[in-house]
């Protein structure tokens, strides 16, 4: 699924499912997950250890394989966003957001004039090294298309973000909102207590605001039954597990084999 299809599906009320790469540095990982049937791939650059060249290769192969590459950002700077965009990233997961102004700044960095300050390089990979640009009208159409198709996911995982949810969601251009339960629980003073009512109330506050502002709801998941439950609550953007989680799930099988050997 490419970025246009991803956005169209969400717009039409359909759910999309993706996963995340945390540890695997094989540049073909997007191809593998695309064959599994995932719609999007999050490349974890906040907690992952990938360098830019590896990420750039992952992006290209993911797009060629028909899976939308999104970057979970670590550093908030113009240079960071522009490099990933020039490499072909279709969008970003924005962790640790606290205030409206932070999201507004990102929107300016990822957009071309007149919407923002992103630098234009028609010879970069994201526009097929210039082969798709034939004349001035192509430039204008390309810029307009890119400005409307950078995919932005805001992750609510701080108490400040919960307190400022209405202001944050008033920023135009937010495609999806997800939460970050572990970090949010720490910020709320209940670290690791993911069943605490304070955390549940905070998440509900965010999702209620999303419905008010017509912003798509998403979440990270590690459990099928929880996915089914939240689908009934309107979740459309499903981030299901990641490379490490899928590998870890084989631990039970190893234990069963060892038990059979006794």
> Please, what is the angle between helix 100-109 and helix 78-87, to 10°?
50
Backbone angles phi, psi at 131, to 5 degrees: -65, -20
The pTM of the full predicted model, rounded to 2 decimals, is 0.93
Three-class SS of residue 61?
Answer: helix
In tens digits, the chain (262 residues) has pLDDT values of 999 999 999 999 999 999 999 999 999 999 999 999 999 999 999 998 899 999 999 999 999 999 999 999 999 999 999 999 999 999 999 999 999 999 999 999 999 998 999 998 878 877 778 787 777 778 888 888 888 889 999 999 999 999 999 999 999 999 999 999 999 999 999 998 989 999 999 999 999 999 999 999 999 999 899 999 999 989 999 999 999 999 888 888 899 999 999 8
CATH superfamily of 3-110+150-261: Phosphoenolpyruvate-binding domains (3.20.20.60)
């Amino acid at each position: 699924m490419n970025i246009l299809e991803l956005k169209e599906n969400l717009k039409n009320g359909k759910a999309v499912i993706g996963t995340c790469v945390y540890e695997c540095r094989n540049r073909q990982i997007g191809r593998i997950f695309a064959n599994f049937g995932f719609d999007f791939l999050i490349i974890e650059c906040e907690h992952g250890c990938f360098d830019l060249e590896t990420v750039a290769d992952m992006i290209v192969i993911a797009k060629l394989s028909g899976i939308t590459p999104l970057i979970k950002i670590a550093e908030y700077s113009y240079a960071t966003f522009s490099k990933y965009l020039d490499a072909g990233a279709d969008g970003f997961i924005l962790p640790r957001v606290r205030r409206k102004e932070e999201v507004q700044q990102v929107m300016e960095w990822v957009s071309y004039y007149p919407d923002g300050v992103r630098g234009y390089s028609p010879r970069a990979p994201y526009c097929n090294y210039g082969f798709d640009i034939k004349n001035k009208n192509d430039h204008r159409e390309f810029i307009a298309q890119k400005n409307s198709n950078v995919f932005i996911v805001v992750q609510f995982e701080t108490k400040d973000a919960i307190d400022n949810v209405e202001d944050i969601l008033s920023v135009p251009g937010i495609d999806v909102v997800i939460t970050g339960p572990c970090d949010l629980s720490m910020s709320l003073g209940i670290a690791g207590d993911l069943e605490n009512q304070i955390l549940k109330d905070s998440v509900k506050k965010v999702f209620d605001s999303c419905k008010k502002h017509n912003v798509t709801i998403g979440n990270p998941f590690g459990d099928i039954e929880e996915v089914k439950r939240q689908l009934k609550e309107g979740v459309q953007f499903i981030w299901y597990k990641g490379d490490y989680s899928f590998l870890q799930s084989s631990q039970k099988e190893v234990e069963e084999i060892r038990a059979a050997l006794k």
